[in-house]
Chains A and B, each alone.
Chain A
Amino acid sequence: MRLYRAILYRLMLAGITLILLSVIVFAGCQILPGDVGRAILGPLADARAVAVLNHQLGVDQPLLVQYWHWVSGMVRGDMGMSYTYRAPVAPFIGHALVNSLKLAGIAFVMVVPLGILGGVVAALKHGTWIDRTIVIAGLSATVVPEFVSGIVLIMVFSIWLHVFPLTASAPRNANGLTQVYYLLMPAVPLFMIIFGYIARMARAGMIEALAADYTRTAVLKGLSYRQVIWRHVLRNALLPTITVIATQSGYLIGGLVVVETLFNYHGIGSLIFSAAHAKDFPMLEAGILVIGIVYVGANLIADLLYSALNPRISFGSGRE
């Protein structure tokens, strides 16, 4: 019962967050310079044509009317019509989100195990050359921009060696393995960005856990090294790492504009970017809201994992 109430509380907070996000996004769209109709017809279009188009799109209505129209539609599951494509927004968002989830999933499957492993190994070998190598490599990889690592990968593996395709979009009707094959190249720059974060966090957590009193107690109790590491150290060390992973989910889903552009992959990041550029507010607002939902959902899952790994946290309960 307490758990259900805690989850409902979290969901209520999520709802408030999304409402605030929708207001902020909507207000932000109005601040962007330029004119919606003109963005579609071009800067040199006749003013009469621009006015007619703005009227057709409804952007000449009062802001509150526009906002209410959009929000009420969104609540009913209707994401509205794209200004630029004159078509429902939902299929674009859905397709882009699926694409982003695929790419994020591949990167996730690569980076989380290896990141944690790297951090754990670095911690266990604290102070040695192995530790320094992992830390420095992770830090270096993190600061290399995606477009640099992406282009290098393309030049080497796609244009020179021809072992990987240089675009991320698999042929239509490609099977799962083929899709993974096409997504490996864009996943690597993401891996490089995130590995460093996860490895460093896991390493710090491990070092702290190894130095903790309960670890010393476990050792004194005569438990085997493996038991100490798996049952006591890892369990506690990984808590902050889960938070980092949850935080990175927002980046993995919606922050990949550069990689998506470079590999010509139609994910939700580039969809939002092009919608902002084209002043396609229904597309932009729906896209950001979807990312917000994913982000909030990821953090909710992280909280649940926190609770599973450490019963004392247990959604704020005071009881041991």
Chain B
Amino acid sequence: MSKRDDLISQVRRNLSEAENDVMDNALTGRVDRRGFLVHGSRLGLSLPLLGTLAGAMGMAASKPARAAGPSGGTLRIAMTMPAAAIDPVTIADDGGLMVAIQTGEFLCALNPDYTLLPVLATSWSPNTDGSVWTFKLRSGVKFTNGEPMNADAVVASVERLVNPKNASNALSAFKGVLSPGSSKKIDDLTVAFHLDAPNGNFPYVLSSDNYNMIILPANYTGGFEQTFIGTGPFKLEKYIPKTGCSFVRNDAYWGPKALLDRVEFTFYSDIQPQVLALQGGQVDMIAQLPVASGRAIINNKDFKVISCKSTAHQQVHMNCETGPFRDKRVRQALALSINRKALVKGLFQGHAQVGNDSPFSSAFPSTDLSVPQRDLDLKKARELLEAAGVGGGFSVTLTTEQYLEIPDYAVLIQSFAKKIGIKINLHIESQDAYYGKAAFGQSDWLDSPLGITDYGSRGVPNVFLNAPFVSAGTWNAAHFKNPTYDGLVADYVKALDLSGQRAVSGKIETLLLDETPVIFGYFYDFLYATSKNVSGLPATADRPYLSQVSITQS
């Protein structure tokens, strides 16, 4: 006890006010080990230090470290064909991302539990109000072409993405966060980012959560596919567009060397041949297995399914300004008619978590879990419809996209709504038609009275809280305009510590439950599938880090 207190006191003297707040929360039991690690890592406290402190405070690690698997061999992976040229600046799809991260690295990366793992940056810290974040870079790291990974490379990589002239796909992530010219080199291994506004979650914007944020050499001008230049554990062996690519171990890697000799990706334009290829032994792993298409694998003991908790979800928006859903009682009624447990079981065989009609998934440590869970309540739903003057029922068209399980979800919502007198007509179209020009007045997504839209997984809810919900949000399909909400989001974004964020998140969750502009029925898991002889794959959604994966000959 005495030794523990000494260690804790010694460390605290060197911490900022925000960092000490993390310690206070941990010591008083207001956060568990995971929350402590999450928020501490966000503030740049190194994981080894955090681990030591957590141990000293009695937070034992939940699992002992796994022994490394055997070395050698080739891992054969089936994956969705990249939708376009593979360039970190423009990547927009899982296919391109999954191969780019075999060689490319980020300043920090999302862990399975939503902590941030230092990678090319060793630590990061905010100034007093969180308007300037300073990152310390790892020394001695080189790109595969021999160029050093330093402050110049980092500044150039960020500037490349925030510059509107570069057709960068990360512009929407940096919008309102970081502007061109705001990334400053302090010295060769230190970079300061001067934000547009204080932001407590800024490190996530530079992490693997923002998949365009792969650090490239300062002099990069394009042509990524030629070399797949990066600092990662693998380097390119061969890349054939539309066919596949292979990587070999990068023996000059700065960290633990990859166990595999080689990784071989085969591109597929559909999931079914991937499933057949795994069943037939032609591949050892499927990089993303949708539940609906993968039941033959999920229910088969001959294969491993790694279920990664993720914050990917489908937003069921209802127009709050015009049409039948302008009265929030009607929106609440529809939300109350939905059997979320049945959705999780029926659509995902349990590989999902129920949503509570806000972006705050249970996976986010900043989520206030004390907010009551909305559940099926047909009686109350009917009462609300009566109170809103539509007790006799009404008809509405649900417009959505053909993607993953969404059409099935739409059919289920249709049947749920029928029980309370709402007749839903389904209009399911291609993703292109659904998104249209992605601008109000030119998009079925943004103009429909009722629709379902897919959102990918993120490490923090910031993106979900803003564009889809704030009054001026460009993705505000619900046409939800609520100044109180806008203010709360601004407060949430500014909050530097977990307790501050959680206090605001509770209010946001409560407000959104009351207003119900969007139904979040579930957050579904990301699934990898492998043959039995593959081990060591981390449960990180949408990011197959293969460095510590091993394969034994079957």
Give A contacts to B, CB under 8 Å.
32-35, 37-50, 52-53, 56, 84-87, 92, 151, 154, 158-159, 165-167, 169, 261-264, 266, 270-271, 273-274, 277-279
Contact = CB atoms under 8 A, between A and B. Distances in A.
Contacts of B268: 264
A56 B167 contact: yes
Contact of A262 (B92, B242, B272): B272
Contacts of A50: 167
Nearest to B89: A49
Given A52-B164, A167-B273, A45 B92 contact: yes
Contact of B276 (A42, A166, A169): A166
11 contacts: A32-B432, A33-B433, A38-B437, A42-B93, A44-B475, A46-B171, A169-B243, A264-B266, A264-B268, A264-B273, A274-B269
Interface in B396-447: 430-433, 435-439, 445
Interface string B62-87: 00000000000000000001011101
A33 B175 contact: no
Contacts of A165: 282
B435 to A, nearest CB: 4
B428 to A, nearest CB: 14
Contacts of A48: 164, 171
Contacts of A41: 90, 92, 167, 169
A84 B92 contact: no
Contact of A34 (B90, B167, B433): B433
B84 A84 contact: yes
Contacts of A154: 276, 280
Contacts of B270: 261-262
A271 B267 CA distance: 13
B272 to A, nearest CB: 7
Contact of A84 (B85, B431, B438): B85
B52 interface: no
Contacts of B431: 43
Contacts of B164: 46, 48-49, 52
Given A159-B280, A261-B270, 19 more contacts: A32-B432, A34-B432, A34-B436, A35-B437, A42-B92, A42-B169, A46-B175, A47-B474, A56-B167, A86-B87, A151-B272, A158-B276, A167-B273, A167-B277, A262-B270, A266-B243, A271-B242, A277-B432, A279-B432
A132 B464 CA distance: 64
Decide if the interface of chain A is mainly helix, strand, loop or mixed: helix
Contacts, number: 123
Contacts of A85: 84-85, 241
A48 to B, nearest CB: 4
A45 B169 contact: yes
A59 to B, nearest CB: 13
Nearest to B93: A42
A274 to B, nearest CB: 6
Nearest to A166: B280
Contact of B166 (A52, A264, A270): A52
Given A86-B85, A158-B280, A167-B282, A261 B269 contact: yes
Contacts of B90: 40-41, 53
Nearest to A280: B84
A40 B84 contact: yes
Contacts of A151: 272, 276
B340 to A, nearest CB: 25
Interface in B163-179: 164-169, 171-172, 175
A160 to B, nearest CB: 10
Interface string B265-297: 010111011001101101000000000000000
B273 A263 contact: yes
Contacts of B474: 47
Contacts of A39: 432
A39 B435 CA distance: 10
Nearest to B456: A44
Contacts of A167: 273, 277, 282
Interface string B83-117: 11101001011000000000000000000000000
Nearest to B78: A264
Contacts of A270: 269
